[in-house]
Amino acid sequence: MAEKWSYWLKDVCQDHNDIIGKKCANLGELTRAGFNVPPGYALSVDAYSRFMKETDASKLVLKYLEDFKADPNDLAETLKYEKAAQDIREIVEGIKMPPDMEETVKSYYGELCKIAGCENIYVATRSAGPASHPGQYETYLNVSGADDVVANVVRVWSSTFNARSIIARARLNLPLHYDPIGVAVLTMVDAKAAGVMFTINPVNGDVLKVAIEGSFGFGEAVVSGNVTPDRYLVDKVSLEIEEKIISDKGSEFVYNPETREMEYAELPLEQRKAQCLEDREVIELTRIAKRVEAHFGCPQDTEWSISRSLPFPDNIFLVQARPESVWGKKKRGSVLGKKTGLELLLEKAVTPTKVNNVGI
């Protein structure tokens, strides 16, 4: 097999976007730029293609789709898509990876275990499309053991057949049976808290501010909107926390070792309204935000995770960075125009200031 379809994140950068998907490319870029990113590796979109083509997967999916008809723009037909998605995913997940692929995925995982210095470390298997489709594909957390890693990589691939993805492709008249994505296999951070961070104020586009939202446990709780996170607004220059809203977070998203599943666990009463981040962690995150924004040259939308076992500041990890989508794209014209200090002074001087004349 001559083509390369697996990469260490530290060896890739944004140029690899089309090869391994945006998320992987960005994580690689961040790793190479010196940010604290959990170690991991990427499987390229070619890996997806190989899996689909070298096994029966493509054939079986196409066959299933032969009889499938539904209108993607009719909400009432959604159930049809859901049924199809369930069936197709069952088919795909029942197929084994080609043996050499399986071996490669496992050997990379073995390396990750070596880096971490323990066996069967927990990893996340994350989807990474070449184009950004936030929340469309699936991510599986706390996967442990080589066999499970292999199985979950297949599950990520099969998530291109979840109902929302099929509907999306149907609406765009794209082929339904095929949607190559990359997969990131990332060492899990044993998160005591996690969340998202914008390098500008997403509410009003204020470039002076960094907005952080976080909650206890893993970041999915915040991203999915299943908890009301704590919110912080920090000034980039003074590094002062200007706004701090501590919410009743209710529950946290955690791993249950018994069921081996991620689940929402209710927080003890005294913890629900406790601050999920220390102030110094908020400030360190802000410093990271400034560096990320400077590195990419535009406002970023990031995800972070804070380890419960490592000491500050090594405990803070970046697990995602992408351009902020609302304000980042706006072309910012000149606000002041080109003026001299004298012109500005004259302008100010002739502007009447409202004085305390109350008029009777």
Partner 1 sequence: MAEEKKFPYAEEVKFPPAMAGWEEMYPPHRLFSKDRDDWEKRHFWYQDKIHDPEALYPLDDIFNEAWQISLSQYTTRVFCIPPAQGVQQRMLGCYMYISAVEPPPPEVIGEKAEVFGKRLPYVLQNYDMLWQKWLEKFQTLGRDMQNVKVPEELPKYVPDEDIFPVTKGYTPAYEVMAAFNTLVNQIFLGWQYHFEYLNLAYLAYLMFVDTAKKLFPGIKDGAVMKMVAGVDAAMFRPDEELCRLSRLAVAQRPVGDILKKNISADEKMKELQGTQEGRAWLEELEKIKDPWFFVSCASGWFHYEGSWVNKPDVPFSYMQSYVERLEKGEKIERSLKAIEKEREGLVEEYKKLIMAEDDRKSFEDAYNAVRTIYQFTENHIFWVENWFHTIWFDKVRKFGNLLVKYNVLKKTDDIFLFNRFEVPMLLEDMVTAWALGVGAPTRSKYWMEKAEKREKILAAAREWAPVPGLGVPPEEVSEPFTVMLWGITSDKVEEWLKGADLSANEIKGFASSSGVVEGPARVIKLSQNIVELKPGEILVCPSTNPSWAPVFTKIKAAVTDIGGLTCHASIVSREYGLPSVTGTGVATSIIKTGDILRVDGGNGIVTIVKRACG
Residues that bind partner 1 (CB under 8 A): 201, 204, 206-209, 235-238, 240, 242, 332-342, 344-360
* Least CB distance to partner 1 at residue 347 (A): 8
And the tokens for 194? 């996690």
| Distance (Å, whole) CA 303 – CA 305 | 7
Q: Give 260 or 329: the residue with its C-beta nearer to partner 1.
A: 329
Nearer residue to partner 1 within complex by CB, 75 or 237: 237
Task: Give CA–CA dist 162/157, Å, rounded.
Answer: 10
CB of 214 to partner 1, least distance (A): 20
Asked if residues 83 and 127 have their Cβ atoms less than 8 Å apart, the reply is no
Nearest CA to 49 among 175, 182, 159, 138? 182
Tokens 């997806």, residue? 48
Instruction: Please provide the DSSP assignment of 76-108 as one string.
Output: GGHHHHHHHHHHHHHHHHTSPPPHHHHHHHHHH
Nearer to partner 1 by C-beta: 84 or 292? 292
Distance from C-alpha of 107 to C-alpha of 134, rounded to nearest angstrom: 29
Nearest approach in angstroms of CB 212 to partner 1 is: 15
CB of residue 237 to partner 1, shortest distance in Å:
5
Cis peptide before 268 (omega within 30 of 0): no
CB of 200 to partner 1, least distance (A): 10
Q: Give least dist CB 207 to partner 1, A.
A: 5
Nearer of residues 118 and 336 to partner 1, judged by Cβ: 336
Distance CA 170, CA 271 (A): 45
Entry field: residues in the chain: 360
Under a CB-based contact definition with an 8 Å cutoff, are residues 133 and 57 in contact?
A: no
Which C-beta is closer to partner 1: that of 257 or that of 341? 341
Shortest reach from residue 333's CB to partner 1, in Å: 6
Instruction: Give 76 or 355: the residue with its C-beta nearer to partner 1.
Output: 355
Instruction: Answer for the pair 33, 295: CB distance below 8 angstroms, yes or no.
Output: yes
Give backbone dihedrals phi and psi of 187, rounded to 5 degrees, phi first: -60, 135
Q: Do residues 131 and 22 touch, judged by C-beta distance below 8 A?
A: yes
Cβ nearer to partner 1, comparing 242 with 261: 242
